[in-house]
């Protein structure tokens, strides 16, 4: 049996690290968009506690020069993170609004946080992602699509597409063809 989203919005198999940086979605906002991101803290470095610290509101700006910039951006969170080794971490239940998209627009609708789920991949724009990350991302996607019928494979996009000129992730090294193929192959079976 694959991953499932439970009634509270948590994915089975995910390590739960509840973030304070979330709130309720507008009542009239169906969840119908999946946004793929990448993140590394400090930029280009993987592993460690820093991503957790950012999404849990405890990132120490004095721990690294870049963290001053990250802290100045204000509170930020995401629903899910897929680490380089495939570990899945969930910070915000899927039914709640995470603060991952910022100023954004999709299909003529502003404020994508209101109607989207955000998944971060530990990585950068200029390095390939790990095969296990694609497998875990695909399993997450299938669970989310199964829970939110208004979301379809056609309504999966990158942060760069909803915030062009402001964001570049998941970047040119993200293999959209591989990811979409894995989703479609799983849906056909």
CA angle centred on 137, ends 120 and 186, rounded to 5°:
155
122 annotated active-site: no
Q: How far apart are CA 145 and CA 183, in angstroms?
A: 10
* Inter-residue contact 27 to 108 (CB < 8 Å): no
In the numeric block, which tokens belong to residue 5?
A: 């989203």
* Inter-residue contact 122 to 39 (CB < 8 Å): yes
DSSP string, 121-136: EE--TTSPPPHHHHHH
* Number of Cβ within a 10 Å radius of residue 7: 8
Longest dimension (CA), the chain: 50
Catalytic residue among 110, 120, 122, 130: 120
Q: Where are the alpha helices (DSSP H) in the chain?
A: 50-55, 65-72, 131-147, 159-162, 176-188
Residues marked as catalytic: 120
């Amino acid at each position: 049996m694959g991953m499932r989203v439970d009634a509270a919005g948590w994915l089975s198999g995910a390590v739960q690290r509840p973030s304070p940086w979330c709130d309720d979605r507008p009542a009239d906002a169906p969840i119908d968009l999946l946004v793929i991101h990448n993140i590394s803290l400090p930029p280009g470095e993987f592993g460690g506690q820093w991503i957790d610290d950012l999404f849990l509101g405890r990132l120490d700006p004095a721990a690294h020069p870049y963290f001053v910039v990250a802290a100045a951006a204000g509170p930020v969170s995401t629903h899910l993170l897929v680490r380089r080794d495939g570990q899945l971490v969930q910070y915000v239940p899927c039914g709640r609004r995470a603060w991952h998209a910022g100023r954004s627009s999709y299909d003529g609708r502003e404020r994508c946080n209101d109607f989207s789920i955000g998944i971060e991949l530990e990585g950068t724009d200029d390095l390939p992602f790990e095969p296990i990350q694609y497998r875990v991302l695909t399993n997450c996607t299938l669970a989310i699509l199964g829970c939110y019928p208004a979301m379809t494979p056609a309504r999966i996009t990158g942060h760069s597409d909803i915030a062009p000129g402001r964001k570049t992730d998941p970047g040119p090294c993200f293999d959209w063809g591989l990811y979409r193929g894995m989703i479609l192959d799983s849906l056909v079976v």
